[in-house]
Amino acid sequence: GNSVTQMEGPVTLSEEAFLTINCTYTATGYPSLFWYVQYPGEGLQLLLKATKADDKGSNKGFEATYRKETTSFHLEKGSVQVSDSAVYFCALSEENTPLVFGKGTRLSVIA
């Protein structure tokens, strides 16, 4: 079945550091890929998405590129802020199937 594996946290960074959260996937077909974010005390929100190979999703300074050859969708940000502290979930979906999520990576950014 389909699955998503993402790096375990927690990840602790200083403000303005570079962020990478690794995500790899297993799928039977050609999925769409997503990053969701859950800020403290808030609900799950879509951060960015990519629907086909080589697409780059971007939002709020975060980027991820759909790499079919390596089955990866790593999340990156060049300079993190304290307000980026949250739990980040990588997810995939194929046609007419619900989102499948990774276990989440908690990011803490300290000033």
Partner 1 sequence: GAGVSQSPSNKVTEKGKDVELRCDPISGHTALYWYRQSLGQGLEFLIYFQGNSAPDKSGLPSDRFSAERTGGSVSTLTIQRTQQEDSAVYLCASSPYGGRGLGYTFGSGTRLTVV
**Residue of 29, 24, 11, 36 whose CA lies nearest to 108:** 11
Question: Which region among 11-19, 26-34, 65-73, 76-84 touches partner 1 (by CB under 8 A)?
Answer: 26-34
Report the residue from 13, 72, 101, 108 that binds partner 1 according to the rule CB under 8 A: 101
Report the residue from 43, 69, 70, 111 that binds partner 1 according to the rule CB under 8 A: 43
β-bridge pairing 11-14 and 19-21: unpaired
Both tokens assigned to 1: 């079945």
The answer to whether 97 and 85 are in contact (CB under 8 A) is no
**Residue of 102, 65, 84 whose CA lies nearest to 12:** 84
Q: Give min distance, CB of 34 to partner 1, in A.
A: 6
Contact call for residue 11 and partner 1 (CB under 8 A): no
CB nearer partner 1, residue 31 or residue 77:
31
Contact residues: partner 1, CB under 8 A: 31-32, 34, 42-46, 49, 51, 89, 91-104
